[in-house]
Amino acid sequence: MPAPAIGLSTQIFNNKLKSGILLAGFPVLLLLMTGGFVAGMDAMTQSAAMHYTNAGLDWHRSLNTGIDGVKQYGHWAILAAGGWFIIAYFFHGQMMRMATGSVPITHQQMPRLYNTLENLCISRGIPMPQFELIDSPALNAFATGINQKSYKIVLTQGLIDSLKDDELESVIGHELTHIMNKDVRLLIISVIFVGMISFFCHMVFRMLVNGGRRSRSNDNKNGGAILLLALVILMIGYLFAIVIRFALSRRREYLADAGSVELTKNPEAMMRALLRIAGNDTVAGMPGDVQQMCIENSHNFMGIFATHPSIGDRVQTISAMTGTPIPERTAS
């Protein structure tokens, strides 16, 4: 069980460092995937030609073609990805609204929320983010944004209706901690990267698999090996992006729980809120990448990998950290 206690300045530094690593490593990963794609296409071209000639596949040529492809097309791939990243970076708020159906809410509409948030922000001397609402009976919440002007806390209607005031304060404190720790900026960057890599991999996978049928029809082992190598390179890129996403999700939830307890001085309310949310977190129609940003995501990736620690583990951690007994799940 990871210890939740960690200095705010340390967490902010770590998140900035991770953001820098993501930004620096993504072009390298993209170039590797581009080379794998070009090499695979060359191998398929040679394999298709073998149907009419007796020549064998020149795998050295395919590898060299992949290297040449990086030199010839790599800068275009990076420019295209950079353009998409800039668009997503500046318009991610609108994209989030389209993906989740959230709408902005004002202080006049929800004074309960804003008064709670104002007290928490005053205690830390930080500006207030805005609220948005998802019209869903599910119990969930997430924070989004890249800077003070765009930070938002998004809550479901079900969460607002179901939680007591102190429990709702704990959830708001949890999401506010994500903002203070700069988790949100790091998550937005990772979501953008995973989205681009996923799109690229799905597109290339279809092209290589469809073309690879001709390679298999020629029963050429070398052609199949090159095609397999290209697919492996693409899958490594995709899985690497997913692993980054998981690594960013699990520990940050413990830290945000601890941050909320520190803000509210009410560990029991945080535990009660998590127990109420457990099993009621799924927002119908919400994309998986956004669901992974929420305070709880009970659905595992591919049914195998959990993106969040279990509610039970999180409640146990809060209890052990504060010496507070775990409340009953049926507490009203």
pLDDT in tens, 234-259: 666 666 666 666 655 567 888 899 99
Ordered by start, the domain boundaries in the chain are 8-322
Residue with the larger pLDDT of the pair 301 and 204: 204
At residue 2 the predicted structure's pLDDT band, cuts being 50, 70 and 90, is: very low
Which pLDDT value is given to residue 287? 83
**What's the mean pLDDT when you consider all of the chain?**
79
Average pLDDT over residues 159-177: 96
Average pLDDT over residues 27-56: 70
pLDDT in tens, 4-26: 444 445 655 665 666 666 666 67
**Residue 151 pLDDT greater than 80, yes or no:** yes
Q: Which of 132, 167, 175, 296 is catalytic?
A: 175
Residue with the larger pLDDT of the pair 327 and 231: 327
Average pLDDT over residues 79-86: 78
Q: Which residues touch 39 (CB under 8 Å, ≥6 apart)? A: 62, 63, 65, 66, 69, 226, 229, 230
Residue 156, strand partner residues = 134
Average pLDDT over residues 171-197: 82
**Residue 160 pLDDT greater than 70, yes or no:** yes
**Residue 88 pLDDT greater than 80, yes or no:** no
Lowest-pLDDT choice from 90-104, 130-144, 312-326: 90-104
Q: CB of 74 within 8 A of CB of 31?
A: yes
Which pLDDT value is given to residue 292? 79
- Which one, of 321, 199, 234, lies nearest residue 40 by Cα? 234
At residue 192 the predicted structure's pLDDT band, cuts being 50, 70 and 90, is: confident
Distance (Å, rounded) from C-alpha 20 to C-alpha 11?
14
What is the percent of the chain with per-residue pLDDT over 90, rounded to a whole number? 34
Average pLDDT over residues 225-239: 62
What SS3 class is residue 327? Answer: coil
User: Quick check: is 118 catalytic?
Assistant: no
Residue with the larger pLDDT of the pair 183 and 165: 165
Distance (Å, rounded) from C-alpha 19 to C-alpha 22?
5
